[in-house]
Copies of this chain bind each other. A is one copy, B any other.
């Protein structure tokens, strides 16, 4: 085995580059994964542009599918050569947060000037997986074997967007018979749409302005689609619900406009489930918030990680409950990942998700 690998690194705002990097050493509780498929996330674009700052030289990427190349000496229960995934968020399992059930908030992540937060490490505080190899920390908590019969592309959404999207419906408390709206039908919004359906929503309204995304939203379970480029979404949603409003509104974009619309369409007692990564202060208009008297909830969710979460999501796919392969619209070799970034950053050619194979 070579001691070098190809890896996409953040160079400076506006610039990422595929470089030669040493294959990492394996610590006692780590595992080295040989990456067989990975993908590019909207967050990676923010990193590339410098909107979400990381250290220069960091390897980017947080959605790995691969094979165990080498196990740390304390790691039990796995064997080298096993096909595995790891979640975008890698909980240690042993932090106070983890032991309190807050596995996504074990204090190992951070963000630019923000409070210490989260367990997001890949491509944020440690090297990520847009590379030939990636080191998985706390391997026993994070490596999830891929069931036989599932392809790389079938499970490629599990580490991040499926886990995140579903979380909106789960943490938002979607119940059988609920009306749910999902603002923005990018990959995560599409998974939120699918998640709302899986939790029993009886009417799902999907909002976007890209016709192809609205069409895909229907495939993921939307009953109604609203093109906000053509229609005022708040008015249209109130009309579709006979003025009642929605039980749960899901924000999957990260903008004031969608956040505010999510508030405006809530029924009294309703829940805004927010997935967006915001980049500016948010405003809560008094009238959209019932002056604080509406028994409302605003809930934010970071992607749930850990091997149990990954196991469950892969079972959902294995059980035929959802097929996320159609979200893979493009495929690139790792060698060409810079082109993939360009395509994805510009949202060209109807791109939803790109499979990248080292």
- By a beta-carbon cutoff of 8 Å, the part of chain A in contact with chain B is 28-29, 74, 91-94, 96-105, 107, 111, 113-118, 120, 138, 140-141, 166, 170, 175-179, 195, 198-200, 202-203, 223, 245, 254, 267-269, 274-302, 306-309, 311-313, 315-316, 318-321
Contacts and interface: CB of A to CB of B under 8 A. Distances in A.
B312 A268 contact: no
Given A93-B94, A114-B293, 9 more contacts: A91-B99, A100-B308, A104-B269, A116-B268, A118-B268, A177-B311, A200-B200, A202-B318, A282-B283
B294 A300 contact: yes
Given A74-B28, A312-B202, A295 B302 contact: yes
How many copies, total? Answer: 4
Query: For the complex, would chain A's binding face be called helix, strand, loop or mixed by DSSP majority?
Result: loop
Nearest to A93: B93
Contact of A282 (B93, B102, B289): B289
A170 B177 CA distance: 12
A38 B19 CA distance: 57
Nearest to A73: B28
A124 B309 CA distance: 30
30 contacts: A93-B94, A94-B138, A99-B306, A99-B308, A100-B269, A102-B269, A104-B269, A111-B291, A115-B290, A116-B268, A117-B290, A118-B294, A118-B295, A120-B293, A177-B311, A177-B312, A177-B313, A178-B312, A199-B199, A202-B312, A202-B316, A274-B292, A277-B293, A278-B289, A281-B284, A281-B285, A283-B284, A289-B300, A295-B301, A297-B299
